[in-house]
Structure 1
Amino acid sequence: MKIVIAPDSFKGSVTAMEAALSIEKGIKNVFPHAETKLVPVADGGEGTMETLVSATNGRKVPVTVTGPLGKPVEAFFGVLGDKETCIIEMACASGLDLISPSERNPLAATTFGTGELIKKALDEGYRKFVLAIGGSATNDGGAGMLQALGMQLLDKSGNEIGFGGGALSHVHEIRMDHFEKRVSESHFLIASDVENPLIGENGASHVFGPQKGATDEMVKMLDQNLVRWANVVEQATGVRLHDMPGAGAAGGIGGAFQAFFPSTIKRGVDVVLHYSRLVEHLEGADLVITGEGQVDFQTAYGKTPLGVAQAAKKHSIPTIILAGTVGNGIETLYQYGVIAVFSIINRPMDLENAMQVAGQLLETSAEQVCRTYFYQKKNDGKSCRRTDGKLFFPGRFPLF
């Protein structure tokens, strides 16, 4: 019997690897000799760098950078096991979790620190990049990142504009004379599942601004500022970001990459699954167990469990999802190879308590899932036979 364990992190409680280890313990409680393959994954947001560095036996490089509100923060970039690819997680330098809820202000938050990470990696000789751009605190269209890399963003008086989405109201001209030339010698793979345009009701400000601390009035201001920014970018480059799919990712930094960088955007979970070699690990598997903190209708829009299930379905392997909370709309997932979704909560408890014991809950849930699933397979007369009085589980099960 072979079970592939491929969860995302359970935000605020356990990392993807910790979740995988807990699930493995639950499986081993039932089948101590089962073959288990741990493939912790992510979807391009927080934890992506850790996941890819771990999956490829890479390393992390510490860098002190400018945080989202201008204060120094300790960040990292990762170097993958090939020693050529640099992984940068935007949330590490410009992330929402770096500031308290009361401090969140996308009018002031900057992506400057993300640009500093890129510059440091360029200084170290790297020219192949993976950028995970989820979890940002910013709505500055990537302007801060560009400033950190030498681009001059000037107002009508010829002065450099300040930081944050609010400062974009003053941008009048872009000068690229001093923009980091090594950017053009590099390639940037952008890991993002966001297809929103830069502006409008489905744009960066309206859709993602409120979770970053924007009031209704601020959302309107931020959107107007991004219109101005997009107009100036179009004048300088000929690239129209206004309604470009993906340009609204991470407060508009997705648009900055498309306008100024040699870049390709791919769904975050697909990037992670490629580098973690999930498809190779699926060979000969009987079951896949994945999961994350919350599973609901949004999961079908490119979240980790969906990507894992889609990959498994191509190999006719069923997927079971374990979640901290299960919301509405999960039935959509069944068409993608998911056969069941289970909440790991096994008794009344508040969120704080659940987060503290998430590992234990995952272990218990994985054990119960395996007992139920493989008992059914035993009794359907198709998926096991007795050899010397012992149960034996052959091959994968023909469920699709």
Structure 2
Amino acid sequence: MVHTVVIAPDSFKGTIGAAAAAQALADGWRRVRPDDVLRLLPMADGGEGTVEAFATAVPGARRIAVSVTGPEGTPVDASWVLLPPTAAAPAGTGVVELAGTSGIELLGEPPRLRAHDAHTRGFGEAIAAALAHGVSRLVLGIGSSASTDGGTGMLTALGARFTDAAGHPIPDGGRGLGSIAGVDLSGLAPLPPGGVTVLSDVTNPLLGPSGAAAVFGPQKGATLSEIAELDAGLARLAALVDADREAPGAGAAGGTGFGLLAWGAELVPGSGAVAELVGLREAIAEVSAIPAGDIDGPRSAVVLTGEGSYDGQSAAGKVPAHVAAVAAGAGVPAMLVAGRIAPDADTSAFAATASLTDLAGSPQASMAAPARWLTEAGAALARTLT
């Protein structure tokens, strides 16, 4: 029996992007089942790999290069993606990700963490470039941030002014929030006609024990005392800006979610929005509707998805859970590949699973050669079919 296979993984964070992961899975699958028809539809939730996922999954998408100020203040070569025109966005949609412009991955390996001084200016510069191109709508991914600046760097690049008590511009990064005394948003670039949709996989508020500084500050190198300073700085910003500090996702990306709310953007769960924009539901419906016998005998469909770590929290809005739900709605079985599958993970939504850690023998081995073990995982899952 010939199968049509939609391969729709997220990135395996820190090791391999979604597009490369999809290709490796496809290579392994073809090794076992060369006659199957594969469609690669890499996914994202707003973090690293969002631009690459759209560039790969959407026919006619065009990558546009841009040079921006990176999170350390040095130039970074980045890109944003222009999606083809639609009725809702006649001049096209611009997709910009924070990870590729102001992300923690840009701080080197091992990262040169800059808890107080990293900033989001480059993200704003890339957004400004997409606006200057004339896009009708923006889709922004805000995962993998290096900073805790409340989005002030981004907003500054878009025309806002943040000043201290003497009227001077505040320093970049979270450090500047401690001296902020004035905010002028009157010079902000207007939203595009179709608005701005922000993809985020977190629901944290801006402030407090569940806020940007407390939860994500340690990942960016902040000590306990620095976390308190950053939270106080974000509180100073919130007192001067008319935006909802308690909104789910306001604390995303070091408070960049809050800054985007102040601009007028809408925050949405990343995986569902990406799935809609790349046409996941339509792709699965299409392969599930192909009549038996249409291509050299009976034909069936399957969906293959995955992410770096699948655990007890993965069912709450992560890419594999969303892909599995869409597949179930179309009556198509889903399979899961993960770098590791935790003991508390509920995998009942999947017809078959594969763990790279199990295949490679250890987490270290699987992370050292992710493409190799994703290829092996694709082959292993292909063998489960008759």
Fold-level similarity (TM above 0.5): yes
Aligned residue among 266, 278, 281 for 1:279: 281
Q: Which amino acid aligns with 1:202?
A: S
Matched, 1:302 2:304: no
Could you say which residue in structure 2 is the equivalent of 1:343? 355
Matched, 1:370 2:379: no
Greater per-residue helix proportion: 1
3-state SS of paired residue (1:73): strand
Alignment of structure 1 residues 309-328 onto 2, 5 Å: 309-328=324-343
Rounded to whole Å, the distance in 1 between the matches of 2:150 and 2:268 is: 19
| Percent of residue pairs bearing the same amino acid type | 37
Could you say which residue in structure 2 is the equivalent of 1:216? 224
Could you say which residue in structure 2 is the equivalent of 1:203? 211
Could you say which residue in structure 2 is the equivalent of 1:109? 118
- Can you give the 5+ residue segments of structure 2 that lack an aligned partner in the other structure? 86-90, 289-299
Count of aligned positions: 363
3-state SS of paired residue (1:229): helix
Alignment of structure 1 residues 1-400 onto 2, 5 Å: 1-56=3-58, 57-82=60-85, 84-100=92-108, 101=110, 103-180=112-189, 182-183=190-191, 185=193, 187-233=195-241, 237=242, 239-241=243-245, 243-261=246-264, 263-283=265-285, 284=288, 286-331=301-346, 333-334=347-348, 337-345=349-357, 346-349=359-362, 351=364, 353-372=365-384, 374-375=385-386
- Can you give the 5+ residue segments of structure 1 that lack an aligned partner in the other structure? 376-400
Rounded to whole Å, the distance in 2 between the matches of 1:2 and 1:176 is: 51
3-state SS of paired residue (1:279): helix
Q: Which amino acid aligns with 2:329?
A: K
How big is the shift at 1:104? 0.9
Is the contact made by 1:62 and 1:77 (CA closer than 8 Å) also made in structure 2? yes
How big is the shift at 1:188? 0.4
The list of structure 1 runs, each at least 4 consecutive aligned residues, that deviate by more than 4 angstroms after superposition, is none
Is the contact made by 1:111 and 1:145 (CA closer than 8 Å) also made in structure 2? yes
Q: Which amino acid aligns with 1:44?
A: G
Q: Which amino acid aligns with 2:198?
A: I
Could you say which residue in structure 1 is the equivalent of 2:295? none
Deviation sequence 1:304-341 (CA, Å, 0-9, x none): 1111111112112222211112224212x53xx33443
Deviation sequence 1:48-79 (CA, Å, 0-9, x none): 11111222231111111111121111111111
Rounded to whole Å, the distance in 1 between the matches of 2:79 and 2:379 is: 36
Is the contact made by 2:104 and 2:111 (CA closer than 8 Å) also made in structure 1? no
How big is the shift at 1:91? 0.9
How big is the shift at 1:107? 1.1
Q: Which amino acid aligns with 1:157?
A: A
Rounded to whole Å, the distance in 1 between the matches of 2:185 and 2:332 is: 51
3-state SS of paired residue (2:188): coil
Is the contact made by 1:55 and 1:275 (CA closer than 8 Å) also made in structure 2? no
3-state SS of paired residue (1:170): coil
Q: Which amino acid aligns with 1:357?
A: A
TM-score of the pair, normalised by structure 1: 0.85
Query: Which structure has the larger Rg?
Result: 1
Rounded to whole Å, the distance in 1 between the matches of 2:352 and 2:220 is: 33
3-state SS of paired residue (2:191): helix
3-state SS of paired residue (1:121): helix
* CA RMSD in angstroms, aligned pairs only: 1.9
How big is the shift at 1:275? 1.9
Q: Which amino acid aligns with 1:122?
A: L
